[in-house]
Structure 1
Amino acid sequence: MQVLLETERLILRQFTEADVDNLFELDSDPEVVRWTTNLGQSTPYSVVKMEVLPDIFQDYQKYDNYGYWAVIEKTSQVFIGWFLFKPIVDASYFNPQFVNADDIELGYRLKKAAWGKGYATEGSKALIKKAFSEGVERVVAVAFAANLASIRVMEKAGLKLQTKVIYEENNQEAVIYVIDKSGYEKAYLQSSLTVK
């Protein structure tokens, strides 16, 4: 099992078959999936096992160091969620009007017990630093406009609002946040936005 990176408090590692229960539990909490494309609907266990995990594994075959990454809290060694970090061109909602085909998408989903501890910001900053150290030009993040907590994480990680759009599948307003190389250098290298 490959570890993508470690922060002060987190380990981001590849998913394994043994994570099916972790993913199912995460997606079974209506508050956790409230602002996802499922809009509060849990994902059935059979779908997690037969579709979600195989799709995650397929990303590992397709890309080096991109995909979905299980988040482990270092002190407890407990699974607390995931980070998404992969080319946005693979997203079902990819639209070249709003983002570039070579943009890398940042996303996250954490258990409610892990909310409010700064984990989403900590992991996001570490992934952004990794991206720009490896030659990525832009990192983007997408959220429903009503998901104020996720938007705060994006802003704390240095991303800036680029545009607002309507997500056609459910007619919800969404926001697209972006950080490019120069924005990264200003936010991280010339200010107090540091990665631990």
Structure 2
Amino acid sequence: MITTERLVLKPYCDKDMDRMIELLTNEKIKETFMIHDFKSRQEAEKMFWKLQENSLSEEHYEFGIYLENELIGFINDVEIEGKKIELGYVIHPDFHNKGYATEVLRAAIKDLFEKGFEEVITGAFVSNIASCRVMEKCGMVRIDKEEDIEYHGKVHHCIYYAIKKNRK
């Protein structure tokens, strides 16, 4: 568990299923965060159980983001390669523009460096200016990695940011 000034990052509990499914199926979130389109409630529940298992595992970096015990988002590993980790994060649109994403990413970077990681990487669609600003506010710098990703029938240009342990 990680506690920030206003938020708590912790593993999911069973009662979080409905809220997580709301996050995973939110159309606004799906514009900027690549999420599978679920064909049924059962398929979405199966994803919740997998994410909950990951949040309880030492093999993954997966936390729910809670404001006053309400799940408002999540942060998780996209890829772990040695001492490098790539993260993704989501904040429910009702909670945008309040600094929560910056608060969470700063706390996660600090935690990951304390756990021995040397570099934290995040990516965003180039059109997701808010997420790019969050990364910059956390001391991350744009790196020389870019790619075009086909998602929901469109090609999105993705850019990446990183911060190394010795550069806080």
Normalising by structure 2, what TM-score?
Answer: 0.86
Identify the match of residue 88 of structure 2 among 102, 107, 119.
107
Provide the C-alpha distance between the structure 2 equivalents of 1:103 and 1:124, rounded to a whole number of angstroms.
15
* Counterpart among 111, 122, 127 of residue 146 in structure 1: 127
Contact 2:11 / 2:56 at 8 angstroms: preserved in 1? Answer: no
**TM score, norm. by length of structure 1:** 0.74
Query: Aligned partners of 1:13 and 1:43: how far apart in 2?
Result: 28
Match of 1:54 in 2: 49
The 1:44–1:112 alpha-carbon spacing in structure 2 relative to 1, beyond 3 Å, is: farther
Residues 38 and 61 (structure 1), Cα distance of their counterparts in 2 relative to 1, 3 Å cut? closer
How many angstroms apart in 1 are the aligned matches of 2:95 and 2:31?
16
- Look up the match of 2:67: 73
Q: State the percentage of identical aligned residues.
A: 27
Mark the CA change 1:120 to 1:138 in structure 2 (over 3 Å): closer, same or farther.
same
Number of residue equivalences: 165
| Equivalent residues of 2:78, 2:87 under 8 A apart | no
- Equivalences for residues 82-121 of structure 1 within 5 A: 82-84=74-76, 86=77, 88-89=79-80, 100-121=81-102
Gaps of 5+ in 1: 90-99, 185-196
Q: Alpha-carbon deviation of 1:28?
A: 3.0
Question: Counterpart of 1:6 in structure 2: which amino acid?
Answer: T
Q: CA RMSD in A?
A: 2.3
Q: Where has structure 1 moved over 6 Å in runs of 4 or more?
A: none
Q: Higher strand share goes to which structure?
A: 2
Unaligned runs of 5+ in 2: none
Question: Which one-letter code corresponds to 1:72 in the other structure?
Answer: Y
